């Protein structure tokens, strides 16, 4: 295809699907090169334009190096790159906007999954990508979990990307999309159930963190494995008590100890389900998860 014909085809696609969807096709070239297959959403957009592309090579030849078409992008380079590349990918997997630079979803088994951008405190316009899964049936006042991870980059498990300009941010976000699809999404799928999250926590529990023991105990209680739940919860109680005794200013440790003990007592009299349901309602309200539980809206961000 000569340059003139290529421009006509690209103009036709942009007119048919809109500039934002067109830019998403352009931005997916890197991902296609890494995993050489066309996705359903790409076929769907091209079909909407009446354009048939038979191979990955033809897709790359058409869209590689093409300029983005959306005008009036945010002056914030990272926000603009997020909207163009990352947001559509996350929406495809059921994530909704949770905060300014983060997205979340709640699974049918009550797992809250969070992924977001963390800006460097050094003011150098660099950022990392953090993600975690957490059980909503454990009482929570903040969206934090010992399952916390960062997307890797190169040989480092602590990846950082550059967003100094729109060009740098776009290049970085294309790579972030690739890493999100290869690393974060499979991990989210593996920890989307109570059993899957328990498997992850069981590995982390080797570090001896009482928060991990508490959440793991809650997972077992939710699944009905009460024989496994109680001894794990007692380890959490011991860990919180030790933390409080070492430093009485750690009032959070005493509060968590009391909650873990409350669950142990509830399990003993088989009233744990009502307690877990109450905790879940409190967590949903405190963390403002209602918007993630709402039915999909075509106008949602």
- In whole angstroms, give the CA distance from residue 233 to residue 259: 10
- In whole angstroms, give the CA distance from residue 116 to residue 225: 33
- In whole angstroms, give the CA distance from residue 81 to residue 66: 16
Q: What is the pLDDT of residue 20?
A: 83
Q: What is the pLDDT of residue 71?
A: 64
- Residue 172 pLDDT grade (very low, low, confident, very high; cuts 50, 70, 90): very high
- In whole angstroms, give the CA distance from residue 10 to residue 31: 19
Closest to 200 measured CA to CA, from 179, 182, 186, 181: 186
Tell me the average pLDDT of the chain: 92
Ordered by start, the domain boundaries in the chain are: 3-63, 77-190, 194-268
- Residue 152 pLDDT grade (very low, low, confident, very high; cuts 50, 70, 90): very high
Phi, psi at 116, each rounded to 5°: -160, 170
Q: What is the pLDDT of residue 266?
A: 98
Contact 111, 189 (CB under 8 A): no
pLDDT tens digit sequence for 23-41: 889 888 888 887 888 888 8
- In whole angstroms, give the CA distance from residue 170 to residue 209: 38
Is a pLDDT exceeding 70 seen at residue 161? Answer: yes
- In whole angstroms, give the CA distance from residue 291 to residue 300: 10
Q: What is the pTM assigned to this prediction?
A: 0.81
Length of the chain measured in residues: 301
Contact 213, 203 (CB under 8 A): no
Percent of the chain with pLDDT over 70: 97
């Amino acid at each position: 295809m000569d340059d003139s014909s290529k421009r006509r085809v690209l103009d036709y696609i942009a007119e048919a699907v809109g500039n934002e969807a067109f830019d998403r096709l352009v931005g997916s070239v890197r991902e296609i090169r890494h995993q050489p297959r066309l996705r359903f959403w790409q076929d769907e957009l091209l079909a909407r334009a009446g354009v048939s592309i038979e191979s990955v090579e033809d897709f790359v030849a058409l869209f590689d190096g093409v300029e983005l078409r959306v005008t009036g992008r945010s002056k914030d380079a990272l926000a603009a790159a997020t909207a163009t590349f990352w947001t559509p990918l996350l929406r495809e997997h059921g994530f909704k906007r949770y905060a300014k630079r983060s997205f979340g979803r709640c699974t049918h088994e009550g797992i809250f999954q969070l992924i977001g951008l963390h800006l460097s405190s050094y003011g150098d316009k660099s950022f990392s990508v953090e993600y975690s899964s957490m059980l909503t049936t454990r009482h929570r006042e903040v969206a934090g979990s010992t399952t916390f991870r960062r997307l890797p980059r190169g040989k480092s498990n602590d990846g950082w990307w550059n967003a100094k300009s729109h060009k740098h941010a776009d290049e970085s976000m294309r790579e972030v999309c690739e890493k999100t699809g290869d690393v974060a999404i499979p991990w989210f799928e593996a920890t989307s159930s109570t059993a899957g999250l328990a498997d992850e926590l069981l590995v982390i529990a080797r570090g001896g963190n009482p928060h991990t023991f508490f959440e793991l105990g809650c997972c077992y209680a939710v699944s009905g494995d009460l024989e496994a739940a109680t001894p794990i919860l007692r380890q959490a109680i011991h860990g919180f008590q030790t933390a409080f005794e070492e430093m009485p200013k750690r009032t959070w440790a005493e509060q968590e100890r009391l909650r873990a003990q409350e669950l142990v007592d509830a399990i003993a009299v088989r009233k744990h389900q009502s307690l877990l349901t109450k905790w879940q309602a409190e967590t949903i309200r405190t963390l403002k998860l209602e918007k993630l539980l709402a039915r999909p809206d075509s106008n949602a961000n």
